[in-house]
Structure 1
């Protein structure tokens, strides 16, 4: 997993109630009937976007779904007009909803004011964290404070008392991680806190595996494959003989990562559809394969080529998180639509962009940690003969290119396959991308920017 680590709880000012009510789709039936929830139709109050902007976003190549791969709209449904597509991609309108959009912005946000100027304004001092200058991203509304507080309380109770994920001495790190704020920002359309808990347990479990097996808390590349394989059986159960099954079942309680995986996945399977659960298992196998590639390079002290590093990051990345956005939202993207090559490209680009965000915001933290940590700025500097600053700034450019590609491909897919559940899913992934950046920018407990500007 990208460098996130373990931790939780911080509250934020409440967001206007119009934000959640304007998101697509009605609330799902009472939890845990998520598995039977029908795909929700998108609801997006109309807002204006120029036809030229939409046209340019829909002209990228290799985005058309394979022939016969997805269900076409019913005969009674009229073909979407340009204004329909504009509305879908722009998302809801009104105060606080600017981040819920797939439409491509022409310019990145302005860089933050210099520290000496920012110190002179009360408004600037109230903002937590600074965005990376030149980084292309979309601001989001502050997460709902009441939801953050309740989610934070529940996830800490689960981590401490139920799954026993971390010892008492890790509590400050768990709190500093602010996972409640993270997940509320990424899933503002979740019908209930129970739905949010599905994603939050899995996030904490994934980070327990990363920390304990790979990184900060006793992790090592030596023997990692065996540890990951056994932990993966907590997600994808072992089917064996009656003689050996009890030993395997007992092993799922033997360490914090396996306890966390077992418990989080049990909750997820009970709430999600079989297709959604299998999708998540597949994405976690991808993640574990990425861990192993990075571990192999660490064992041999190998610095990969830039394209090799980006290939590893396509697997060792955030992908399992946004691909459960429908489960958390209380609806389902059907398996045939999820499997569309165009959808797979959109999801991959979203995961790649969000993971480079992690590389950029965690850069200073990793430089101050023991050993050499591979991240995109480091690989660019070494492989392309750049200074540290030049490598970092080029990594910002790579991120921006990935973000623009993600938004263009998502717009093209939305135009080519205007199925309600697919449109809502695309919006959910885009919202997750924005919420992920928000968390990295505002988590000053963990991250600070290098002095490159």
Structure 2
């Protein structure tokens, strides 16, 4: 089945769901930046104010007889931001502007397999509107949250979207890429990836956009399970397998004699078939910059896999800081980094590459990955072999009991979450661009949706009996 060609992402503030990033803006609207989380956690919710749009000053030529405007002092920070938003200049860069022309070209009409759900416009007073939308919200999600964990509840994912994404992803896995044998079907269904992705991307304009993230999530898990973990994975020879799989994301350009052999290799096993197909769908909907961003983050992920495999081969338990360094690479980072593609817009490359933005994305990935360590703790203890996770490493390296090491891991997660939120708030203040604000709200929504899925997936996870 050919990949649908979604309209290219727009570098402007598009329509978004009213509940999108609700917790991020609610505290700003209430003027209460220090209120404890709904879970009873420590303060620290970020405030992402929506800056008003300042109308441009008309040029003197546009107002005959008018006096030239008084010069306005521009701070160094504002000058840098203006340069980033202005985009590239020079010969041949006219087509690379950030903002659309006054009369943008009409994209070709594309027949999508389902009628998209109508997006809800983001009001001018977004903070106030979101605060009203979530007033009195109750955390009704099933499953037991880790006691003491700092998190934000999210609205239940749209059941119609969950059902449709679940149907489509299974059809893709079975019919398009032959991802798993029949006896893995129950495990595939129990993963509940449709509910996962709908919870993580509440602003996705259509189901087709959600499917971009869903295929990639399933493909990444196939690589992890079949190459690294307990579905045939092994640290032996992992580097070669990951390198060849990575060429399904980052194509090989070689001579005419050897190109066919490489092309045939993309169908050699289920992980490569899944990577290749998921990436084909993604690049048709993403900009070139967004696609290259994903390739970069997938290389980071594979580097983290290799570090963990090296420790397994040596039967080595790393220091806690070394483990956390590995987890900054072997983590969920590729998922929130594509939130703009899934949302149907683009955070410009210059803004994405800023050190402050990279720090926020890294902290989000680190926090969400420790969530996985905490919820999958008992599952990994019950699995064959010696699985490294943060509680295991802290217990070994710091001489703590299993219970105390687990509780300290909760503290590590909470510290990472507070750092993520404070850094995101600082970035929003320093760079009051609507593109930055929407992207940060998308990352925050992914962080919360990731916790929701781990908490509610009782098919896969159960908490240790430490309380």
Query: Scaled by the length of structure 2, what TM-score is found?
Result: 0.77
Distance 1:386 1:91 in 2: 47
In 2, the alpha carbon distance for the partners of 1:143 and 1:58 equals: 23
CA distance in 2, matches of 1:336, 1:238: 27
In the TM superposition, what are the counterparts of 1:195-344 in structure 2 within 5 Å? 195-344=209-358
Of residues 355, 364, 389, the one that matches 2:369 is 355
Looking at structure 2, the residues matched to 65 and 164 of structure 1 have their Cα atoms a distance apart, in angstroms, of 52
Aligned counterpart in structure 1 of residue 387 of structure 2, from 348, 373, 389: 373
3-state secondary structure, aligned to 2:251: coil
Distance in 1 (alpha carbons) for counterparts of 2:136 and 2:340: 21
Q: How much does 1:236 deviate?
A: 0.1
Aligned ranges 1:37-436 → 2 under 5 Å? 37-40=10-13, 48-50=29-31, 53=34, 68=80, 71=83, 92-96=130-134, 128-436=142-450
Provide the alpha-carbon RMSD of the alignment.
Answer: 2.8
Q: Is the 8 A contact 1:65 1:341 kept in 2?
A: no
Question: 1:224-279 deviations in whole A, cap 9, x for unaligned?
Answer: 00000000000000000000000000000000000000000000001100000000
Measure, in 1, the Cα distance between the counterparts of 2:77 and 2:380.
40
1:118 aligned residue: none
Indicate how the Cα distance of structure 1 residues 56 and 373 shifts in structure 2: closer, same or farther if over 3 A, else same: closer
**8 Å contact from structure 2 (residues 11, 348) kept in 1:** no
Q: Conserved in 2, the CA contact under 8 Å of 1:163 and 1:259?
A: yes
Q: Across the two proteins, how many residue pairs are aligned to each other? A: 384
Q: Which string of whole-angstrom CA distances, capped at 9 and with x for unpartnered residues, describes residues 90-139 of structure 1? A: 8822344899xxxxxxxxx99xxxxxxxxxxxxxxx85210000000000
The whole-number CA distance in structure 2 between the counterparts of 1:66 and 1:316 is: 36
Structure 2 Cα separation of the partners of residues 313 and 262 of structure 1 = 25
Residue 236 of structure 1 aligns to a residue in which SS? Answer: coil
3-state secondary structure, aligned to 1:171: helix
Q: Could you list the runs of 5+ residues in structure 2 that have no partner in the other structure?
A: 20-24, 36-42, 48-75, 87-124
Deviation digits for residues 395-452 of structure 1 (CA, Å, limit 9, x no counterpart): 0000000000000000110111011111100000000000000000000000000000
Q: CA offsets, 1:146-196, max 9 Å, x none? A: 000000000000000001111111000000000000000000110000000
Aligned equivalent of 2:466: 452
C-alpha displacement of 1:88: 6.8
How does the TM-score come out when normalised to structure 1?
0.80
Deviations 1:192-242 (A, max 9, x none): 000000000000000000000000210000000000000000000000000
SS in 1 for 2:8: helix
Q: Distance in 1 between matches of 2:46 and 2:222?
A: 40
Supply the distance in 1 between the matched residues of 2:310 and 2:177 (Cα, whole angstroms): 30
Q: Aligned with 2:298: secondary structure?
A: helix
1:67 and 1:352 map into 2 onto residues whose CA distance is: 32
- Computing the radius of gyration over CA atoms, which structure comes out larger, 1 or 2? 2
- Is the Cα contact below 8 Å between 2:30 and 2:131 reproduced in 1? no
* Gapped regions of structure 1 (runs ≥ 5): 1-30, 75-86, 100-108, 111-125
Q: Distance in 2 between matches of 1:39 and 1:235?
A: 27
